[in-house]
Amino acid sequence: MSLVSTVANYGGRQPDNFQNIKQFIVGVGSQAVWIYKKLSSGLIVQTPANSSKPVLINSDLYVNGSIFNPSDKNLKKNIEPITDDKCNSIINLEPVEFNYKDDKLQRKHLGFIAQDVEKIYPELVIGCQNNIKSINYSEFIPLLVLKIQNQQKEIHELKEQINELFQTINSNS
């Protein structure tokens, strides 16, 4: 999509500070048009003009604040609890330590191999350009929380069994 056709989609408005459209030059010969809008709530929203396209950042992303994912019940359908089987599969993943090939600083990273995760949790892996796979790490959180909850129940049950055994031993002595 060219800049001309993108701008045409927004009533012919050109990128500037007054019409809520910003234009960022992202590389030699390539342009990305961003929508910049201040909402009545005071929030400022900045999104790519073509919202069906992902945003790729080829370096670290620093945020002075928090990152929020919409999670309101009104946005969701087919809501079902995560099964214990799905949760228990997390122990089959192999955490790894690695360096990115293109990282000039050769920093160590911790994570998973996307192809391995895809075998167990295909919904957490997406393939992008050149079939490079990426992992949605934030969606591991519900699996981890459920696993912790299940382990806490198991710990509680084991403590009760230990207490019962102690009582049995003490009553027999």
Q: Say how far apart CA 121 and CA 165 lie, in whole Å.
A: 40
pLDDT of residue 22: 53
Q: Which fold has domain 81-172?
A: Arc Repressor Mutant, subunit A (1.10.10)
Both tokens of residue 103? 């990282």
| Antiparallel, parallel or unpaired: β 44-48 and 30-38 | antiparallel
Q: Mention every residue, 6+ apart, whose C-beta is less than 8 A from residue 170.
A: none
Q: Using 50, 70 and 90 to split pLDDT, how confident is the model at 30?
A: low
What is the percentage of the chain residues whose pLDDT exceeds 70?
A: 78
Q: Say how far apart CA 104 and CA 101 lie, in whole Å.
A: 8
Q: Using 50, 70 and 90 to split pLDDT, how confident is the model at 161?
A: very high
What is the distance, to the nearest Å, from the Cα of residue 7 to the centroid of all Cα atoms in its chain?
A: 30
Q: Which amino acid is located at 118 in the chain?
A: E
pLDDT of residue 133: 92
- Burial (0-12, 13-18, 19+ Cβ within 10 Å), 7: middle
Mean pLDDT of 152-160: 98
Determine how many CB atoms are found less than 10 A away from the CB of residue 87: 19
Q: Using 50, 70 and 90 to split pLDDT, how confident is the model at 26?
A: very low
DSSP 83: P
C-beta of residue 19 within 8 angstroms of C-beta of residue 13: yes
Q: Would the pLDDT of 68 be above 80?
A: yes
**Which residue's entry shows tokens 């087919």?**
78
C-beta of residue 117 within 8 angstroms of C-beta of residue 126: no
- Which helix (H) or strand (E) segment holds residue 147: the answer is helix 141-172
